[in-house]
Structure 1
């Protein structure tokens, strides 16, 4: 039976320290699995190290957000929801659209 997906956070007010820690732990576990396959050297290893830094920085930002005034979290949530968030398929569609626009501009 497939695993039931975790509930999505809909509002910044729902964010807790446990959410941040759980997400950070999950990301590090995934990075560790990849690192074991990639090894200690090479471009992929460098990229994984950069992702590790990104995970740490993001977790720190989220923890800081939890310490701020609730009004600030609400403003952050409004800003965040205006960004476009893509999964892999959405990102591929987005990039294909860029290529299509560029090709059409080249024909003009």
Structure 2
């Protein structure tokens, strides 16, 4: 028996909500906060943890700002995908922690929307076709 796919499954970055970002950012802050408590407030490891917490906050804030845009430009669409992947990959090592819910907001997104995915596939096909044409005919022996 197969389980039905979760309603909250993300296919594209356009499906992200501000609540998704907030939930992932809160999860990261909770997990990193636990590590920070063990590390303590002095030493190089502490400084690294502070930097990581700042980066998570900045990335989450930037993503929240991008999600407020009604018609993001192509660079903003790419930034939405990148920032989600950055937060997601930062959280990945904590998958084993209590409270992790794989179906809630953990989906990887590779494209902003279906049109973006089609455009990327067409670009790859065009580049492959150009590479074949650039090779020219096989040399005669």
The alignment's TM-score, normalised by the length of structure 1, stands at 0.59
11-20 or 64-73, which moves further after superposition?
A: 64-73
1:56 aligns with 2:57: yes
Report the structure number with the largest CA radius of gyration.
2
Cα gap change, 1:36 to 1:79, in 2 (>3 Å): closer
Instruction: Give the unaligned 5+ runs of structure 1.
Output: 1-5, 89-108
Q: 1:3 is matched with which residue? A: none
Instruction: Give the unaligned 5+ runs of structure 2.
Output: 1-5, 94-141
Q: Deviations over 1:88-107 (max 9, x none)?
A: 8xxxxxxxxxxxxxxxxxxx
Cα gap change, 1:25 to 1:80, in 2 (>3 Å): closer
CA distance in 2, matches of 1:57, 1:29: 16
68-77 or 50-59, which moves further after superposition?
A: 68-77
Cα gap change, 1:80 to 1:22, in 2 (>3 Å): closer
Q: 1:18 is matched with which residue? A: 19
Q: 1:46 is matched with which residue? A: 47
The alignment's TM-score, normalised by the length of structure 2, stands at 0.47
CA distance in 1, matches of 2:69, 2:19: 17
Q: Deviations over 1:5-26 (max 9, x none)?
A: x866331211111101101100
Cα gap change, 1:32 to 1:64, in 2 (>3 Å): same
Residues paired across the two proteins, number:
81
Greater than 2 Å deviation, 4+ residue runs: 6-10, 69-75, 77-81, 85-88
